Every structure is written in structure tokens, then in C-alpha cells.
A and B are shown apart, each in its own frame.
Chain A
Amino acid sequence: MGRKLLLEHINVPGINTFDVYRSKGGYAAVEKALKTLTPDEIVEEVKKSGLRGRGGAGFPTGMKWSFLAKPEGKARYLVCNGDESEPGTFKDRYLMTYIPHLLIEGMIISSFALGANVSYIYVRGEMMPQIRILEKAIAEAKAKGFLGKNILGTGYDLELYVQPGGGAYICGEETALIESLEGKRGNPRIKPPFPAIAGLWGCPTVVNNVESIAAVVPIIRDGGEEYAKIGIGRSTGTKLISAGGNLVKPGIYEIDLGLPVEEFLYSDEYCGGIANGKRLKAVVAGGSSVPILPANLFLKTAALAPRLMSYESLSDGGFATGTMMGSGGFIAFDEDQCIVRNTWNFTRFYHHESCGQCSPCREGTGWMEKVLHRLEYGHGKMSDMDLLVDVSKKIEGNTICPLGDAAAWPVASAIRHFRDEFEWHVTNPSAALAGNFGLAHYADPLPAPEPVA
């Protein structure tokens, strides 16, 4: 069993209050950082830890911090991205609900490291209870001298604000989030300039995911090297996975990166296997945006190596046979689930959430949604699959922000791996409405890889 770094005290009653959190060693990292480390030393520790952004892209956090421009006489900002709206991902909400002080502690250390005196936590509008929880926790921390002017007598000032969003998925994209925070319509900006140069109010800004910022606390408390000992290769530390779908025990798990997926899925410590004695058909490993994989390709890579829960292993095989870590929204599908319906459902989401700035995403998501709807309801044609792949290609890479890609990948991968199920919907429309394709060959052992000549 791995060590818990973020959720170690999650079951302690009252851990959401300042006093209990403090009695469990909370805010010690703030004291250590502000009293014994310089901002550059903190950035160095985070670099050493190998922490990669937990918001989806997996960009090394320390590196991101070191890119922040530091012009004279200009404010710098840290913004925490708590917009979590990706279907399948619900880990940040859990952290903010049950252990809000961990996030606040991380915000204080990170803001100090970046030289920010005003920082924001941008929380998705639907999460009103979490917004209240955070505001209450901020008030507590402020009353104890951990926020406000001259924190712990070190001369460092920090104000922390919680900003509710309007409830748009696109406001999770960092530049759309900044626009929204400035009080504008949440349209992603055209880059460059990147936020590290000109972000909030035109000032250098870092946007980090809730979990990335929370992970800074154990990194500073125990040291970056200690953190880097957990995990495998360039996937260091622990990661929260929000597991959902047809599992015996869905929920939030903190895993050591590098855990074999088989163990994560089937061991009693984690998901406990597939519910109701069914068999696994497919997995979306990192939230709705990442490519879907059939069971056989998920458990083993194309080279027949066991797949691990790490950035590298999940993406082994690229788009042809791999997927991505994404934001850790793990969705398991059992043999009774229909991939066509699921793909349609995901696309419906992207169609609804596109901001509508760029023509390929605005129009293409709606088009794919309509074609998939027709396939699901038995009016599809054989040519629809090629049409979908072509439309997804026209969107991918041709848009301002990655939402276009995120809309294209689930469709392209579902057709790549489940084309016979789509075809069955066309050839057997009435059977497709009444029942579904079942497990078919999607869990069969993979063929031996072709020997490399």
C-alpha cells in the first residue's frame, strides 16, 4: 500500500477545520517555506520533485513556474484552477470539500514562491458549497495569521480570493479562465502571449490545478527528492484518481504513479473489480477528453507489457493503441455498455460546451453530435464512420484551444477501436435500439506484436 500524501488525514473528524488540520501537522510547510526558504529555493524543490501538472496536460510544474516573467513594477498572480468540469473527473471537488486547508496551504507556499501578493481560486459555479467551505477556511487561516499582511511576521503579504465561475467547461482552459476572472466572456485567448508573460490584467500569471497546488505541500514538507522517490520514471509522486463507471468500489483513490492498472482495477484496496460480476469492456483512463481503449488494449500495451498508471505507460502506443493520463477521471465500462451511445454522449457535451469562437470547433462538434445521434438511434449509414473520422480530423489541431482536440479524440478513438460496434448499429438498427453489442472480442488476448524487422 502506497503512502498517502494528500489524503493521509482525510478520515480524521474535523479535518476541514483549521485547528484539527493544524494539529495533524498542517501549515508546517508554510512555516518552513516562509521562514527558511527563498522563493527560488521553493521553485527548485518543486523542480526536483518532478511534479507534473494534474489538470490534464501534465506539464512539469517547476518548469512552468520558472518561465514566469518577472518585470519590475508589475504584479504577478497565481490562479488556482478549480473549474473541474471534465466528465469523469471529480477529484478537485473532493479535496476542496473535505480538506480545504491543504489547498490553502499550498496556495500560500506557491504564491510566495512566485512572488504573488494576490491570488485567486477560481471555482466552478455549480460548486457553491465548496466555495462557501473555502471562504470559511480562508477566514480561519486569516484569523490565525496565515493570510493577510505580514504573514507569521515574515513581512510577506498575501490576499486569497475565491471566485465563482459561471459554470462553463471552457472556463477551465487557462486563458478562458483568466478572461472570466477579469469579468469578461470566457473565450480562450489566442496565444502567444502566454499567461506566463501576459495573463491576468496583462500581468505574468501562473494557472495551476487544485491537486498540483495541494501537492506542493508534501513536496516542501518532505523535500522534492523525497517526493520524487515515489512513482516511476518521469511520473513522480502520487495522483488522485476519480474512479467511476461499473466498478465495485467507485470513488477517489490516491495512488502511487506506476501502479499496474490491473491492480488498480481489480484489487480490493482500490476499485475492487467490475460490479455485478460483469466483465470489463472498455476504459476511459483520464476523463472524457482522452482516447477510449478496449479492455485488452487497456490492460496491456500493444507490446504485451502490463500497462501502468503513469503518464508514460498510459500513452504508450500513441493514439494508435494508447491513451493519456489526462486529469485522472477513470471511467470503466462493463460488457452491457454501448460505446456508440457513450461517444454520442461525450460529443453532446463538447457540442454544448464549445465557446464558439473558432469555426471548426463551433460547427464540427454539432455536426459530429448529430451524426452520432443518428447512429445511436438506428438511422445511421455505413459512410457515417468515415465521415466522423474526417470531421474529427478537420477539427483537431485547427483550433484556438485544445477543446477542439478534446472533442475530436474520443470520436476518432471510439471508431478506431470499436468500428464493428458502430457498423452493427447500422446493419441491425432495431437490435441496437433494444439491446447492445456486448463484449464481443474487446477483451480477447491481444495478438503477439509483430517482430521488429
Chain B
Amino acid sequence: MKVTIDGISIEVPDGTSILNAARMIGGDIVPPAMCYYSKLQGSGGKCRTCLVKVSKGSEKDPRPMPKLVASCRTTVMDGMEVQNITSPEVVEARKGIVEMLLLNHPLDCPICDQAGECDLQNLGFEHGAAKTRYEFDRRTFEKIDIGDKIQLHMTRCILCYRCVFTADQITDHRIHGILNRGDHSEISTYIHAAVDNDFSGNVIDVCPVGALTDKTFRFKNRVWFTKPVDAHRDCDHEKCNGKVTLWYKGEDVLRVTARKDVYGEVEEFICNTCRFDKKKTSDWVIEGPRKISHHSVISSNHYETLIPLPVVKTNPLLVEANKEQFERQTRL
């Protein structure tokens, strides 16, 4: 199937969505996605940030589609032509969506644990307006603990439903979901039941904003002061491969997460033991520094600018990656 997005053509298999076709092309023409998550069935279609214009339906039926469509949930047809950043209509609509998403958001990034790795922050930075036209009180909720490891701060939630799908599809049983309607909807466990099973920690990783955060990491540090390092261990959980990213500050592992790709999606889900209970370097086999996109503030913490950590010195792979620093250090 041939599809053309913003003038760039690509051949894709049957059943590919416009968004995934765009990701195959890569670069600036990839629509932002706040709710779609390729590993979660049925996700997408809700946030509307990925709207695009289909200017030609297909070779067979070239009529354009009457409305903008959610690229994450629209499959390509042979000969389809799509406009994303080349359509002023799409750019305008997306600006509107970003404004809506931020409307009731507290914008409390300075005190939010997600800051620096927040999809909403990045989206607002790239597509939003500098000022809001909203002059009313924002919706607020009390923070609640769902179990001893996860905290929910509903005020920041954008209702992407990712955590609900995760709990449905990845964990043993789902006991949280969405209550109420409209802008008073909330993620909840209804009677504050604890979300507690082997895979529940994954809801933290899928959450695009700071609504679900890791209580064992909360307020320990800003993510851009920590160093991500890929590592693995021989995990005995049958569904977990033990492939993670460790987030170091000095010699301490402050946090363990799954490995996230350029679209903020995890490569593989991990179990709670790996995430919450293995916070010593000795628990892990170090693979090497995690590549972080230059656009991310996390990469402001360049490996070159810091004196190599002790942990780096003892691991051949990290020694290799930090060669330059070692040289500089020995020169001094």
C-alpha cells in the first residue's frame, strides 16, 4: 500500500494506521500522540492531537475525507494522501487541542515529578500558545495513594485512558477505571482500593503526564539531574524480561523504569520487583548509557560534562562510552 504524507511517499503493509506510517517515515511529519500506545489494544482516538487531513481518500475513491481524522485510528488506503504539518487547518486545529488539554492542567511543572519527561510539556512547548485564554479556576482533585508504590494526582490527568488499558491488558485484574463524565471524570479505584499486582507499576510509565508517579522516587530528584543507564537482570517473573533503564544520581539508583523509545512508549513492560525492589547496582548487569533524544531536557545532562561516576569506572561498556571524559579527567 502506498501512502503519501506531507508529500513523502512510503509503502506500508495492509492495516497500518496513518500514524504508524508516519512513524515509519519519521521526522517532523510524525503527528504527536498523547493517548495512542502501540502496545495497548484499543488505545488512541481520544486526545485528538494526532488529527490530520486526508486530502485524497485512496486511488479507488479519491474523495477527500470531510473532517480531520485521528491518524492513530485511521488505517491507510492504497494511494491515500495525507497532510499533517503542510495543512494550515491541521496546525490550527492542533493548536486548539493543545489549548484544550492545557485548559484545566495545573501547569505546576516546577513541582511535578514528571517535568522533563512529560509528553504534555513537550507538546505544549512545540505546538501551544504562550498564553492561555482561560480565565477561570482550574479543576483540582486531592492526591490519592493507590497502594504504597503509586500516587495518583488526578489534577494533572489528561484522561488518555492508557493506564486503564494497561491495567486491563497487562496486569492481572483491573481495579481502577474512569468514574463520572466530562471534565469531572476521574481515574479512581472507587473506594481507594490499592492497585496491587505484579505489573501495576507499568501504569506509571504509560502515563504521559505527572498524574501517576512512582512514590519511591517522588521528589528525590529532577529527572534531568539523573543519568539513565540501560541494564538487565535475570528476572524470574514469567512475563518480565528484566530489561530496564536505571536512573542514577551519583552512585545511587534512584529509580527504575522500562525502556522508552522516541515516542515515549516502553519497549517492554517490566514487573514490580524489577521496578520497585531492585535499586542496587549489584542487582543489575549494566549495558550502557541510554540514548536520549537531543530535544529532551534530560540530555542537558550530557555525559561529557560530568565527572564519570564510580559505577562508570568499573564497567567496561560505560568506560568505553565515557572515554572522552576519562581522558579529560586524567589530563587535569
Contacts and interface: CB of A to CB of B under 8 A. Distances in A.
Interface stretch (B94-102, B228-236, B260-268, B279-287): B94-102
Interface in A319-361: 351-361
Interface-central residue, A354, A355, A367, by most chain B CB under 10 Å: A367
B51 A359 contact: no
Nearest to A361: B182
Interface stretch (B42-50, B141-149, B206-214, B296-304): B42-50
B270 interface: no
B177 A185 contact: yes
A445 interface: no
A372 to B, nearest CB: 12
B313 to A, nearest CB: 48
Given A190-B73, A363-B104, A364-B100, A358 B48 contact: yes
Contact of B100 (A168, A353, A363, A397): A363
Interface string B162-206: 000000000000000110111111000000000000000000000
A190 B45 contact: yes
A360 B177 contact: no
A362 interface: yes
B133 interface: yes
B185 A370 contact: no
Interface of chain B, main secondary structure = loop
B219 interface: no
Nearest to A397: B67
A365 B51 contact: no
Contacts, number: 91
A365 B103 CA distance: 11
B115 interface: no
Given A363-B100, A398-B93, A400-B46, A356 B134 contact: no
A370 B136 contact: yes
Interface string A358-389: 11111111110010000000000000000100
B45 A397 contact: no
A6 interface: no
Contacts of A17: none
Nearest to A381: B135
Contact of B68 (A354, A358, A397): A397
Q: Could you tell me the dominant secondary structure of chain A's interface residues? A: helix
A398 B92 CA distance: 11
A358 B182 contact: no
Nearest to B95: A394
Nearest to B178: A185
Contacts of A361: 182
A357 B164 CA distance: 13
A394 B99 contact: yes
Contacts of B161: 357
Interface of A: 168, 170, 185, 190, 351-367, 370, 387, 393-394, 397-400
25 contacts: A185-B178, A190-B44, A190-B70, A351-B183, A353-B181, A354-B181, A355-B181, A356-B181, A356-B182, A356-B183, A357-B46, A358-B46, A359-B47, A359-B48, A359-B158, A359-B159, A362-B183, A363-B101, A365-B182, A365-B183, A366-B183, A367-B136, A394-B100, A398-B67, A398-B68
Closest 8 CB pairs of A and B: A394-B96, A354-B182, A190-B45, A356-B185, A363-B100, A363-B103, A356-B182, A366-B183
Given A357-B45, A398-B93, A399-B48, 18 more contacts: A190-B44, A190-B45, A351-B182, A351-B183, A355-B181, A356-B178, A357-B159, A359-B48, A359-B100, A360-B97, A365-B182, A366-B103, A367-B134, A367-B136, A387-B133, A394-B97, A397-B67, A398-B48
